[in-house]
Structure 1
């Protein structure tokens, strides 16, 4: 049992309260609603297991677990890609009867990429002017927040606020 009455049952209850926010958090980090759902389910299962250590801040504990699951998923994906690349390289050099895998996207992937790009461009056009300009300078032209602030004649905090508006708006547009 954790301090301040933060036991496993109350962590599960807190998870229930935070679930919608956690999903948005996970989608923002994975870029995929499906992956976010998977990670949220995995998080819920982990929360049901006794922690054995005192938990002073249940909300922070749950978000830290969620972030750790995202990092674990990314590392697993990188290991799998490295393993597949090594296998492909090893087999491609020794067995000439095996055709190498074509790294270019297939027709479905290209179509989905075009649709996603069109959706993003449409969403960018409808952003408020300040948010759109800050987003384009930072994300497309690669300027730092300080450089964007200097270019637009606003504070760095203003750039951060414009970016928050743009990211929230674009995330919503891409998920709908």
Structure 2
């Protein structure tokens, strides 16, 4: 092993001696996130690509390379996250607290629209309070307790209204 290390550049030799330290360096700074082994391997590739010789302080240079590599990864992840968030914002819809992922095909959209019309008509047959309770709970995503608080009624009353509305809709619209 000693002969193999002596054939390497001083920076590569320092890398091999400090590989575990580099792993711990990445682990400590990334708090367990990210793929530490990939960073360690990518650092080795960067070390091999360095042509500046001689380097005055190979150990400090190695840590600087590691820091820059890690910062590049974090920036890349931040940019990807921003790009994904923007894409999700423009291509997704939310209904209540649910994220609707994809746009359905035209046939599915027509069927869903017709089903929603049937559901809306069936809801109109219920009392205004039952309609309001059902809409708050099912469409706006409020819990029973939140719905009760908003409407100034008991939680058990909310449960009864939701149950009444669901059984009515199953009878009128089906599953």
Q: TM-score scaled by structure 1?
A: 0.46
Tell which structure's C-alpha radius of gyration is larger. 2
Q: TM-score scaled by structure 2?
A: 0.47
Specify which structure has the bigger relative contact order, considering alpha-carbon pairs within 8 angstroms and separated by 6 or more residues: 1
